[in-house]
Amino acid sequence: MSRVTYDWTLAGATFAKNRGRVFSCFSGGGGSTMGYKLAGLDVIGYNEVDPYMARCYETNHKPAGHLCFQEPIQEFRRREVLPEELYQLDILDGSPPCTSFSMAGIRERGWGKERKAREGGVSQVLDTLFFEFIALAERLQPKIVIAENVAGLRSGAANKYAEAILTKLGEAGYVPLEFKLNARRMGVPQMRERIFFIALRRDLVASVPNVGCRPLLDLTFDGEDITYGMIADYEGRLMDTTTKSYKIWCRKRWGDRKFSQILERDGESGGWYSHQFIYAHKVPYTITANVRHTLHLYDQPRHLSDTELLKISSWPRDYDFCGRRPDYVLGMSVPPLMIYGIASRILEQWSGVFG
Domain ranges of the chain: 21-225+330-354, 228-323
Q: Which pLDDT does position 121 carry in this prediction?
A: 55
Per-residue pLDDT for 2 more than 80?
no
Per-residue pLDDT for 294 more than 70?
yes
**CATH of span 21-225+330-354:** 3.40.50.150
Distance of CA 88 to the CA centre of its chain: 24
Q: Which pLDDT does position 4 carry in this prediction?
A: 72
Per-residue pLDDT for 322 more than 90?
yes
How far from 143 is each of 17, 92, 174, CA to CA, in Å? Answer: 18, 8, 9
Average pLDDT, the chain: 91
* Predicted structure pTM score: 0.91
The confidence band for 114, taking pLDDT boundaries of 50, 70 and 90, is very low
The whole-number average pLDDT for the span 212-232 is 97
The confidence band for 212, taking pLDDT boundaries of 50, 70 and 90, is very high
The whole-number average pLDDT for the span 279-299 is 95
Spatial strand order of the sheet with 21-25 comes to 68-69, 42-47, 21-25, 91-94, 144-150, 193-201, 174-182
- CA 132/CA 278 separation, integer angstroms: 37
% of the chain residues with pLDDT over 90: 81
For residue range 58-77, what is the model confidence (pLDDT) as tens digits?
999 999 999 999 999 999 99
Q: Which pLDDT does position 1 carry in this prediction?
A: 44
Q: Which pLDDT does position 128 carry in this prediction?
A: 86
What is the torsional sign of CA 302, 284, 228, 255? positive
The confidence band for 95, taking pLDDT boundaries of 50, 70 and 90, is confident
